[in-house]
Structure 1
Amino acid sequence: MGEAAENLNYDCNYNMFLAKIMLSNLSRPEDRQKAVKWMKKLATCNRSIEEMKLRNDFMYYLVVNIQQGELQPPFTDNPPTSPLPNIANLLPGGIAEVETNEMGEPSSTQQTKKPMLYENSPDGGAFLAAQPVPRCGAFCYLAVVAREPKHD
């Protein structure tokens, strides 16, 4: 698995640390217990790179829920005893809400909406998409544009 696995484990451990220190944000003891169950479940999901990526997606959304002080689905239920399902099917606005044709494939008539930043960018977001994204911290982009002075 190598370096990719090491990076995925680093991200998971960091989010696990955040989740543990913010558990007190959850006011209901039942929510804290469910969050701990999810953390224990996610800690065991490391059999393949794909499973680790999925685990990290769940871990990220669990941290967001704990930070907001309230658990949202799928974390309102106990974690599954089976392998993790695809998180996109569980989260609001995920794949489950995409219009599909009779074969269960995404509809070809459906328009995929780009993020507003890409829509308003003169190059369609190509420059931003090519920029490195830090593993920790923030990414900031500032553009300064000069206009030709108006001559009367």
Structure 2
Amino acid sequence: MGDNAETQPNPDDQNDEAAVSPFSKEAYVCDRQYAIVLAQLISVNEREKVYKWIERLDKMTECDEVLEERAMYLRFLTLSLKNGKLVSPFTKLPPPSLRPLSVVMPRSVHNLVFKEKLATGADCPPTEDTTTKRYCPPDEIEPKLFFSRQPMPRNGVLSYAAAFSTK
């Protein structure tokens, strides 16, 4: 009975491997949604390019090497979107066949992005003094300051609506 327990694979081990892999379908779907959300913060023309790139990346499913390349392209896309500006190769519509990202981008940038040498939040000191800033619930804010505390889109409109009823 001890031999049988040793030879059977542990399903928990397989789940751990799938969860850890940055090239898993779940990781891709999560990063894809993140890119779509970040695309809302750039201009409409650039946003259309992002959507075309995502459509192109969605078609890359042939083998593990292609999935890895797809994940690297998506990671670089989300990184450029987090910085608020598209960079090459995403400034143009995606070509029918993609070259490896390590060939497309400068080696120094590739190493910086994919060798985990990017600065993290712990490496960067805060840009403003947050100890003196007072945050309070919305009902304690003067009405004239309401809009100054709202997030403002770079492109588009900010719209509020209210409906009241006595019934």
| Structure-1-length-normalised TM-score | 0.55
Matches within 5 A, 1:30-49: 30-49=45-64
**Structure-2 separation of matches of 1:94 and 1:51:** 22
**Structure-1 separation of matches of 2:52 and 2:74:** 12
**Structure-1 separation of matches of 2:30 and 2:84:** 19
Q: Which residue of 2 aligns with 1:64?
A: 79
Larger Rg: 2
Q: Which residue of 2 aligns with 1:24?
A: 40
Deviation at 1:85, TM superposition (A): 0.8
Structure 2 unmatched ranges of 5 or more: 1-16, 123-167
Deviation at 1:92, TM superposition (A): 3.0
User: Relative contact order, CA 8 A, sep 6+: which one is greater?
Assistant: 2
Q: Which residue of 1 aligns with 2:134?
A: none
Report the CA distance shift for 1:29/1:45 in structure 2 as closer, same or farther (over 3 A): same
Letter in 2 for 1:54: E
| Structure-2-length-normalised TM-score | 0.51
Q: Which residue of 2 aligns with 1:106?
A: none
Q: Which residue of 2 aligns with 1:51?
A: 66
Structure 1 unmatched ranges of 5 or more: 97-113, 117-137, 141-152
**Structure-2 separation of matches of 1:36 and 1:115:** 26
Contact 1:25 1:68 (C-alpha < 8 Å) held by counterparts: no
Letter in 1 for 2:78: V
